[in-house]
Structure 1
Amino acid sequence: MALHNRVSAAELKVRLAAETFRRVTVSFYQYAKIEDPNAFRDELYQRLYALEVFGRIYVAHEGINAQISIPEHNYDAFRDTLYSYSFLNGIRLNIAVDDDGKSFWVLKIKVREKIVADGIEDPAFDMAVKGKYLDAKSFNELTDDPDTIVVDMRNHYEFEVGHFENAIEVPSDTFRDQLPMAVDMLKDQKDKNIVMYCTGGIRCEKASAYMLHNGFRNVFHLEGGIIEYTNKAKAQGLPLKFRGKNFVFDDRLGERITDEVIAQCHQCGKPCDTHTNCKNDGCHLLFIQCDECAAKYAGTCSDECHTVVQMSPEEQEQLRKGVEKGTMFFNKSKQRLRPRLGDR
């Protein structure tokens, strides 16, 4: 069999829409030593493809990072497949909080240098020396302590729509920049309790190890991130300390945690936390847009892009020729556009 997809995205989306069974959206990661990431990737692709798993998985010498959807009737077989690998046996699976099962439509497994880009080059850095896990109950208790500092290790556009009470934002556009910035921001607080969190746990786990590597003493990280915290807090009847929406890196672009809306439309300033990509294929800016502005601008981010989408497809294609662009997002804190580098 081919070890990659050969069907168009349009056809795959049609097939997804026609499915009559329910899918479950799941994320997981594991830092572990993988001797041959390419061989592991190929074997895993074949086994997950047979179970109709869709999603995005990154494999590297340092481990695995995945966001996927699984047919509900294949969930047990999928879990058994993962657990058949010794380093994944018993791994925590973060089940999405707000899920329609339509988050992915194709399976992609890619080999990368690292499962999360960190910019760390110090050979003495050791992921095995990491902060202490906090479950939902312990997180709530420790963050009630005035000597605790809560640090959000996600990007600006994630923090903007939702975050924990009293959390500190590390105002950088990439995780690799956030790590040294967090160390500098907290350099005079090395005796405080430092609690780090992110979406599913992968970034804050590495960040906790980096803080310990840089001399911090009491470092913790939220087990399973926001997703696991929310599921466990609701199941145990604990107070939810997260406010707003949790940004996710699939077609949903967010899952509702609380009804509170803490962000604003980037065009009119109305309370709104709905992320979207500009409908101009030459832009695709990630930004927050309310329903009224979506109708006014036809789903685009500006008057310029609104003008473009009213042109013929041929005219739009001509405009895009020779234009280099990366994925962009609106960074309100800096009042400008910046490339989004895809940190997950």
Structure 2
Amino acid sequence: MTWGRMLQKRCLLAMAIIAVPSWDSHAALVALVPTFHRARWTTKRPSSCRRRLDSSCWSDDINDNTSGPSAIRSQSPSPTNATALQMVSFYRFFDTATCKETLRDTVFDAFREMVPGIRGTLYIANEGINGQFAVPVNVVDAFVTVCTQHHLVEQTIDDLNWGGVLPIETPTFQKLVVRTRDVILRDGLSNHDSLNWNHAGEELTPAEWDHQLRRQSSQSLRLIDCRNEYETRQGTFQDAIPLNTTTFSESWPVLQQQFATGQHNKEEPVYIYCTGGIRCVKVGAYMTQTLGFTNVKRLKHGIIGYQKWHHQQQETKEQPDVSSLWQGDNFLFDKRRFGGRIN
């Protein structure tokens, strides 16, 4: 059906509603509307109007909404000749209260100009930053340069949590988004502003984590899974204690109930882990500063980091026969696809 024919049908609808009694107008409308819907969805549009997924049709549009508590700058990915995407995530807790708008603008412009084809999200809040990106493999060095020059990482590129490498056509993130917000991770803590996120226990590398857990007996081990109930069902470390929550904000009363009593020696080690490490910072700060534990240990880069380390051990044959302490899948809420099954 042509567009002209559909317009003619619309005119007939208007005439029908005028011509029939008011109590029949609804019936006339119901009789004709399905025809219009068929015309709308079956009419062929010019090929230039159809949405394409190939990189040659990606637009270079920029969306600037730099007012309000969740100001955003975004852009669709620019064309790239890369054949694969490097997945990477990072976070850093530091005070950005006096510079977060400036940081948002400078980082967005730097990514747009120096890292063509990048997609992902960076949140900037008073408490710090939190980012997840898919970076074309041919501009990874430029991505690292932006991160180090603008202090998105604290010290070195080791602070970046490198994930897998995926084919360029793999669905990941739709745009490059840099936005300001009130917090980088909503926690529901009543004493949020009084906690120091840089005082959150000792951070262990995956190698240190694996070594220390193997030395602990299952009876004495205190290992806390800081993720929600659904994530825990997908996979977990051996002998871990689940919090059995549905949202992260439910963690605090559970921790109070399980660990605030006098039955626990607060000088004995408590190991905590999550997907990428950021939730453990807040749990570690809470257990250290609110509950009074003095020996909290958290897994650097979380399960993602442990997964990568264990695979490297097997590939380099440093520990080819040592099974992983992780059992099951590492569930992710977004399309980063860092995780996978660890055998």
Deviations 1:65-101 (A, max 9, x none): 1111001010001101110024624151112247445
SS at match of 2:222: strand
Task: Report how far residue 54 of structure 1 moved.
Answer: 0.4
* Counterpart position of 1:45: 108
Deviations 1:178-221 (A, max 9, x none): 13312321233234321010111111122111100121122110
SS at match of 1:220: strand
Whether the aligned pair in 1 keeps the contact of 2:231 and 2:331 (CA below 8 Å) is yes
Alpha carbons of 1:93 and 1:87: their partners in 2 closer, same or farther (altered >3 Å)?
Answer: closer
Alpha carbons of 1:199 and 1:21: their partners in 2 closer, same or farther (altered >3 Å)?
Answer: same
Percentage of matched positions with identical amino acids = 28
Alpha carbons of 1:173 and 1:130: their partners in 2 closer, same or farther (altered >3 Å)?
Answer: same
In the comparison of the two structures, how many residue pairs are matched?
A: 252
Larger Rg: 2
The residue type paired with residue 340 of structure 2 is R
* Counterpart position of 1:314: none
Q: Structure 1 stretches (4+) deviating beyond 4 angstroms?
A: 97-101
Alpha carbons of 1:108 and 1:215: their partners in 2 closer, same or farther (altered >3 Å)?
Answer: same
Whether the aligned pair in 2 keeps the contact of 1:152 and 1:198 (CA below 8 Å) is yes
Unaligned runs of 5+ in 2: 1-61, 65-72, 314-318
Alpha carbons of 1:132 and 1:217: their partners in 2 closer, same or farther (altered >3 Å)?
Answer: same
Unaligned runs of 5+ in 1: 260-344
Alpha carbons of 1:68 and 1:211: their partners in 2 closer, same or farther (altered >3 Å)?
Answer: same
Q: TM-score, normalised by structure 2?
A: 0.67
Q: TM-score, normalised by structure 1?
A: 0.67
Whether the aligned pair in 1 keeps the contact of 2:86 and 2:165 (CA below 8 Å) is no
Deviations 1:89-124 (A, max 9, x none): 415111224744532221122212111112224243
Whether the aligned pair in 2 keeps the contact of 1:118 and 1:179 (CA below 8 Å) is no
2:194 corresponds, among 111, 124, 128, to 124
SS at match of 1:255: coil
Counterparts of 1:97 and 1:78 in 2: how far apart (Å)?
A: 16
Whether the aligned pair in 2 keeps the contact of 1:151 and 1:169 (CA below 8 Å) is yes
The residue type paired with residue 257 of structure 1 is R
SS at match of 1:96: strand
Which stretch shows the higher mean deviation, 185-194 or 222-231? 185-194
Write out aligned runs for 1:80-229 (5 A). 80-86=145-151, 88=153, 89-91=155-157, 92-97=159-164, 99-100=166-167, 102=170, 103-122=172-191, 123-144=193-214, 145-146=216-217, 147-187=220-260, 188-189=263-264, 190-213=266-289, 214-229=291-306
The residue type paired with residue 78 of structure 1 is F
Task: Report how far residue 22 of structure 1 moved.
Answer: 1.1
Counterparts of 1:199 and 1:32 in 2: how far apart (Å)?
A: 21
Write out aligned runs for 1:262-273 (5 A). none
- Of Structure 1 and Structure 2, the greater helix share is in 2
The residue type paired with residue 73 of structure 1 is N
Calculate the aligned-residue CA RMSD, in Å: 2.4
1:60 corresponds, among 112, 118, 125, to 125
Whether the aligned pair in 2 keeps the contact of 1:97 and 1:230 (CA below 8 Å) is no
